[in-house]
Structure 1
Amino acid sequence: MKVYFKIQLKILSRYITDAGINKYLGWALIFIAFVFFSNYTLSENNNLHFIYILVPIFLIAKIASKRRLRFLEFCFPPKKFYKIRLIESLILSLPFAVFLLYYSYPQLALILFILSFLLAFYKRGFSFNFVVPTPFGKYPHEFIIGFRKTFPLILASYFLVAISIIYANFHLALFVIFIQFILSAGYFMHQDLLGYVWVYKHRSHLFLLKKIKLAFFQHFVLYGAELVLFFYFFSDKILLILIFYFLGVLFLSGAILLKYSAFPERIGVKESMLVALAVYFPPLLIALIPYFYVQSVKSLAKYLDD
């Protein structure tokens, strides 16, 4: 069992390094993001504690796919199988339970532990093997792949949109806008194969402009409806909504330019740290975008400008 959990930790670390981020830095960023998310959702002013408990339940269900459970049953005897399932469920639920107790929600922490325990012994598994149709069929692959991989998160974001409107929670509305731009930017964290870029007839600066314009359009296709709703229900805060959207547009542009600044290599640790800083200090994007643009043009020039 120790070997099994060591392998799982290595797999998770490899996901981080595959994104071009140092594994220690990646784990640190995950920890910071988790603390920020917990503090925000469990704040007394937000009334989101009932949503907070759904996140670990989703994660536990995610690792309980039918295919994965069949694999574990094949590798381990029943006693170890259920022990592994229980340990995994507790590992995923414990950090959330700690924050629930810290913010004085012992009932929710107890409910979380009970559900985690029950899900650990649910042997039939959950099926996530369905193909989600996308509105991006004739466009490049980033939003097609990203949309399907993050479809549950997209639905969850629209659920939060509804909650923000029902409870007139403007801070939650801004939080949703921020999260959705983070999702869209995440679609550009994997580097293209050389052939995907080489086939373009545009010069490097036009290629980048087209990529950015297309990303804006695709993001608006996914989330444009909520913008109309926010304008209607928070009509006195339209300027602040537009400012957040502008910052989101800058962040999405920065993510695209970051991707091609190292092309065809993966994104480096230095660049990843700069983007992480920009998440917490958006004005930094004003300096980063020109820098990444220059680097992207240099990287692409040898393939598109000859």
Structure 2
Amino acid sequence: MKYYFELQFRMLQRNLSEFGLQPLIAFIVLPLLFIGGSAVLFSRTPYAAYFIVLVSLYVISLLGHSKRNTFLKTIFSFEKYRVLRLVENLILALPFSLILLWYRAYWSALLVLILASLISVVTLSAKESHTLITPFSAYPFEFTVGFRNSFLIIVLAYFLTIMGIKVDNFNLGVFSLMLIIMICSSYYFELEDDFYIWIHRLDSKGFLMHKLKVAMASCSLLCLPIFTSLILFYPKNLNALLAFQILGLLYLILILMGKYALYPLKPNVPQAVLIGMTLVLPPLLIFIIPYFFLQSVKRLKAILP
């Protein structure tokens, strides 16, 4: 097991180098950015703790995909596999819990550790995905595949909404809404083969606008149960709820446009910095989204007419 973690550390160093970062510098700068970003969040919004829990949940869930876990099961016994999954989840959860403890968000810090432990026994399996009915057609493959892979997290978001209403906690409902939007955004992290772009009978602008409409409609469909429930129980908070919904959809658009802005290359450091800046200063979205859109149009012209 020790060798496994040493290997993971080496792979992390290699990934950082491929991303354009010197590992030593990254190990110094990234924690500072995490601490600084958290400080900005807690100074600007009362929902900072919920946002950090949301991010931690997504980061931890990345370790739960079926291919990775199937491989681990072939090289470790069942007992060691369970311990390994628990340990690596807690390692990822620890920075988030510590920052929450620092800002005295004790229950949120505990929630991160509990969720990390629970997720360690969950595998996002693709083998059973064909039996799960989705509210989407076969065409928006990002949502069809993504919905099946993240089904348990979506159910968790709906459950948290119910609990938030039950204990009269509007903030928990907002957290659940943003969790759904973040999950939807994650569906666009993977680059598809250029064949699946080429088959569209659209020019590059038409393709992007079509993708945009599908993404917003599909994401709004998943948000609808939460959004409707919160409006019914908290009608006075309609303006705040609309603001969060619109902001979340803007971030979805940002991720979608960012996906194709460097296509077929993966995101690099400058792009990550631009996206990170919007988290601190959301008004930058009105400048960065059009910039990513124009870059995407240029990139896709090599594939689409």
TM over 0.5: yes
Report the RMSD for the aligned CA atoms in angstroms: 4.6
Q: Matched residues in 1 for 2:82 and 2:228: separation?
A: 48
Which deviates more from structure 2 when the two are superposed, residues 259-268 or residues 2-11? 2-11
**Where does residue 189 of structure 1 map in the other structure?**
189
Which deviates more from structure 2 when the two are superposed, residues 249-258 or residues 284-293? 249-258
Contact 2:124 2:150 in 1 (8 A): no
Amino acid at match of 2:224: G
Q: Could you tell me how far 1:65 is from its partner in structure 2?
A: 5.9
Seen in structure 2, the aligned counterparts of structure 1 residues 55 and 142 have a Cα distance that, compared at 3 Å, is: closer
Amino acid at match of 1:32: F
Higher Cα Rg, which structure: 1
Percentage of matched positions with identical amino acids: 29
Contact 2:261 2:293 in 1 (8 A): yes
**Where does residue 203 of structure 2 map in the other structure?**
203
Seen in structure 2, the aligned counterparts of structure 1 residues 147 and 2 have a Cα distance that, compared at 3 Å, is: same
Q: Could you tell me how far 1:274 is from its partner in structure 2?
A: 0.9
Q: What does 1:205-244 correspond to in 2, within 5 Å?
A: 205-244=205-244
Instruction: Tell me the matched-pair count.
Output: 283
Contact 1:46 1:169 in 2 (8 A): no
Q: Matched residues in 1 for 2:198 and 2:230: separation?
A: 41
Contact 2:212 2:256 in 1 (8 A): yes
Q: What does 1:20-35 correspond to in 2, within 5 Å?
A: 24=26, 28=30, 32=34
Which deviates more from structure 2 when the two are superposed, residues 135-144 or residues 222-231? 135-144
**Where does residue 285 of structure 1 map in the other structure?**
285
Seen in structure 2, the aligned counterparts of structure 1 residues 16 and 197 have a Cα distance that, compared at 3 Å, is: farther
Q: Deviations over 1:114-152 (max 9, x none)?
A: x96xx99xxxx7665432332224223211222222222
Question: Gapped runs of 5+ residues in structure 2?
Answer: none
Q: Matched residues in 1 for 2:82 and 2:186: separation?
A: 34
Q: Deviations over 1:22-56 (max 9, x none)?
A: 5738x9389839x959x98xx999998xx99x969
Seen in structure 2, the aligned counterparts of structure 1 residues 257 and 73 have a Cα distance that, compared at 3 Å, is: same
Q: Matched residues in 1 for 2:32 and 2:179: separation?
A: 15
The DSSP-based 3-state class of the residue aligned with 1:304 is coil
Q: Matched residues in 1 for 2:281 and 2:48: separation?
A: 22
Seen in structure 2, the aligned counterparts of structure 1 residues 298 and 128 have a Cα distance that, compared at 3 Å, is: closer
Seen in structure 2, the aligned counterparts of structure 1 residues 214 and 126 have a Cα distance that, compared at 3 Å, is: closer
Pairing partner for 1:73 from 77, 80, 83:
77
Q: What does 1:135-146 correspond to in 2, within 5 Å?
A: 135-146=135-146
Q: Could you tell me how far 1:70 is from its partner in structure 2?
A: 4.8
Seen in structure 2, the aligned counterparts of structure 1 residues 135 and 168 have a Cα distance that, compared at 3 Å, is: same
Q: Matched residues in 2 for 1:16 and 1:155: separation?
A: 33
Q: Could you tell me how far 1:268 is from its partner in structure 2?
A: 2.1
Q: Deviations over 1:142-199 (max 9, x none)?
A: 1122222222221121122112212222222222222222221121122221111111
Seen in structure 2, the aligned counterparts of structure 1 residues 247 and 11 have a Cα distance that, compared at 3 Å, is: same
Contact 1:46 1:172 in 2 (8 A): no
Question: Gapped runs of 5+ residues in structure 1?
Answer: none
Seen in structure 2, the aligned counterparts of structure 1 residues 251 and 68 have a Cα distance that, compared at 3 Å, is: same
Q: Matched residues in 2 for 1:174 and 1:221: separation?
A: 16
Q: Matched residues in 1 for 2:133 and 2:9: separation?
A: 32
